[in-house]
């Protein structure tokens, strides 16, 4: 069940990256080259990872998708930090600490969750669903 939920969340995020890239462009670190391309590629990566988690015929592909989504969650962490800094610098503090602090702590959980639901870890959620 958790594998399906995570795949759905990544698929939705992937669609949003491709269909409405503006919010994601606003949180790109300044040092990142070609931010439009990066947002598009991250959307494709999320969709591919979601599809890989859900495919039924290859456990190895599911594990690869888990590792890919885990790496993805690590790679986008700088954008989360930039979003936090830029948002909190606004006069109204944007979304505020109630949004940003849990989001920062959620990132390592997403790394672990991608590995767990894909079967990449010894205790595999995918064996139960």
Neighbour tally for 28: CB within 10 Å: 18
Q: Is residue 111 scored above 60 in pLDDT?
A: yes
Q: pLDDT tens, 10-65?
A: 999 999 999 999 999 999 999 999 999 999 999 999 999 999 999 989 999 999 99
- Residue percentage of the chain with pLDDT more than 70: 95
- Which pLDDT value is given to residue 109? 96
Tokens read off for 39: 């947002």
Please tell me whether the overall predicted TM-score, pTM, comes out greater than 0.85 for this model. Answer: yes
Query: Which pLDDT belongs to residue 122?
Result: 76
Does the pLDDT of residue 126 top 50, yes or no? no
* The token pair that represents 98 in the structure block: 């109630």
91-103 pLDDT tens trace: 999 999 999 999 9
Per-domain residue ranges for the chain? Answer: 2-124
72-109 as b/e, with b when 16 or more CB fall inside 10 Å? bbeebeebbebbbeebeeeeeeeeeeeebeeeeeeeee
pLDDT at 106 over 80: yes
* Predicted local confidence at residue 128, as pLDDT: 47
């Amino acid at each position: 069940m958790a594998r399906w939920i995570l795949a759905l969340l990544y698929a939705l995020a992937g669609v949003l990256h491709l269909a409405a890239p503006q919010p994601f462009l606003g949180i790109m670190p300044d040092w990142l080259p070609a931010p439009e391309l990066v947002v598009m590629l991250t959307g494709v990566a999320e969709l591919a990872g979601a599809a890989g988690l859900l495919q039924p015929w290859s456990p190895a592909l599911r594990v690869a998708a888990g590792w890919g989504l885990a790496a993805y969650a690590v790679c986008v962490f700088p954008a989360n930090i930039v979003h936090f800094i830029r948002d909190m610098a606004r006069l109204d503090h944007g979304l505020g600490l109630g949004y940003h602090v849990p989001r920062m702590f959620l990132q390592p959980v997403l790394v672990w969750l991608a590995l767990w639901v894909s079967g990449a870890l010894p205790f595999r959620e995918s064996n139960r669903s």
